[in-house]
Amino acid sequence: MALRQDRLWRNRLTNGLQTLLIMASLALVLSLPGYLLAGPFGVLLCLAMVLLAVYVSSWVPARLILANASAGLLRRHHAPELYRLLDALYQRADLEIAPLLYYAPSPELNAFAVGDRRDGGIAITDGLLRTLSLRELAGVLAHEVSHLRHGDTKVMSIAAAMTRLTVWITTVVQISILLMLPMILAGDLPFPWLALLLVAFAPTLSTLLQLALSRNREYTADLEAIAITGDPRGLASALQVLERHNSRWLVTLFGRHPPAWLDWLRTHPPTAERIRRLMAISPEPRRDLPWETGGRPTLHARPGPMSGRYWILRR
């Protein structure tokens, strides 16, 4: 089954509706403790704080992630093969910004997008570069390019801000209930059973919604990556390699068959399901994409961490 444009647009529409539904649910969960704390004003105050947090996060978290990963900027003469590949992927994704590739000296197999389509980049670890072939890296990089293209980082920042704020406000409500405990025991105030139940379950529900949103965006990023590369098998092969390396701790804890409820706590969908969806798509060879069937990209130099001044000034 080829990836047709009508299917792609249906997926985008479905993804957009699901995202709106999950974000509305996060806002509703956030508004409940805000209402308990200060009525309608508390709800408005919570939403205003989310907007402020999102604005601040658009400046800070991406740089913090890169700084904490000891990331350095890979320049074109450091990795010409990867930059030729990124140039092609950015062009197919209609991204007008120049590609920026960051290198993290970590043995973990990971890649992540930072920023958005106006000012963003992709970070890859040393472990990923040493493990995946250029064809597999093309699928992974296309996946991250799709995150940049559709602003997934910003969406997840809003969801994360809502979840953190929900936790903080429910903590304040719990402290308030504890302070009122003498009056409740004296019979001056009724015991707030409903409020207690709401603040007990609100943080967990908000976290589960945030994780569901992340899994939803990952499914769509897979499909968008195939629309860019036309090579579902390259990404599927990369996911198989990542699963073998990254799921070892799960096997150690739960054996070869982790419990089904663990899927609810994942930021990414089950790899087997992602691969099944990818393999159901017929490949569409793209001869103009600069990858090879085998082999790994060559790095002519591995940059050290960027200075603090770079992360402060970089936008």
What would the DSSP string read from start to end of 280-303? TSPP---TTS---SS--PPPS---
Give me the chain's average pLDDT, please: 80
Tell how strand 101-104 and strand 111-115 pair up: unpaired
DSSP readout, 41-80? HHHHHHHHHHHHHHHHHTTTHHHHHHHHTT-EEEPTTT-H
Better pLDDT: 29 or 296:
29
> Which pLDDT score, from 0 to 100, does residue 154 have?
83
pLDDT band at 253 (very low <50, low <70, confident <90, very high): very low
The answer on pLDDT for 256 being more than 90 is: no
Residue that has been written with the tokens 């910003």 in this structure: 154
When divided into structural domains, the chain yields a total of 1
Quick: pLDDT tens for 123-163: 899 899 989 988 899 999 999 999 988 888 888 888 888 89
Highest mean pLDDT among 3-7, 117-121, 149-153, 221-225: 221-225
* Of 67-71, 210-214, 271-275, minimum mean pLDDT range: 67-71
> Which pLDDT score, from 0 to 100, does residue 288 have?
60
The answer on pLDDT for 255 being more than 50 is: no
Whether residue 149 contacts residue 182, with contact meaning beta carbons closer than 8 Å, is answered with: no
Quick: pLDDT tens for 79-129: 888 998 999 999 988 888 888 888 888 888 888 888 777 777 898 998 999
- CA-to-CA distance for 3 and 12, rounded, in angstroms? 13
Two structure tokens written together for 263 = 């899927």
CB atoms within 10 A of CB 130: 12
* Percent above pLDDT 90 for the chain: 12
Q: Which of 136, 129, 135, 95 is nearest to 115 (CA)?
A: 95
- CA-to-CA distance for 42 and 97, rounded, in angstroms? 40
> Which pLDDT score, from 0 to 100, does residue 209 have?
92
Q: Among 81, 96, 108, 144, which one carries the catalytic annotation?
A: 144
Facing residues of 22 across strands? none
Annotated catalytic residue 224: no
Facing residues of 114 across strands? 121
Better pLDDT: 163 or 314:
163
For the segment 194-201, the average pLDDT, to the nearest whole number, is 81
- Which structural domain, as residue segments, surrounds residue 300? 5-313
* Percent above pLDDT 70 for the chain: 81
Two structure tokens written together for 41 = 């004003």
> Which pLDDT score, from 0 to 100, does residue 310 have?
64
Q: In what order do the strands lie in the sheet with 111-115?
A: 72-74, 101-104, 120-125, 111-115
CA angle 230/103/145 to nearest 5° reads 30
Two structure tokens written together for 217 = 């965006």
> Which pLDDT score, from 0 to 100, does residue 251 have?
42
The answer on pLDDT for 262 being more than 60 is: no
Question: Which uninterrupted H or E stretch holds 120?
Answer: strand 120-125
Of the CA atoms within 13 Å of residue 197, those in its CB half-sphere come to 4
> Which pLDDT score, from 0 to 100, does residue 248 have?
54
pLDDT band at 51 (very low <50, low <70, confident <90, very high): confident
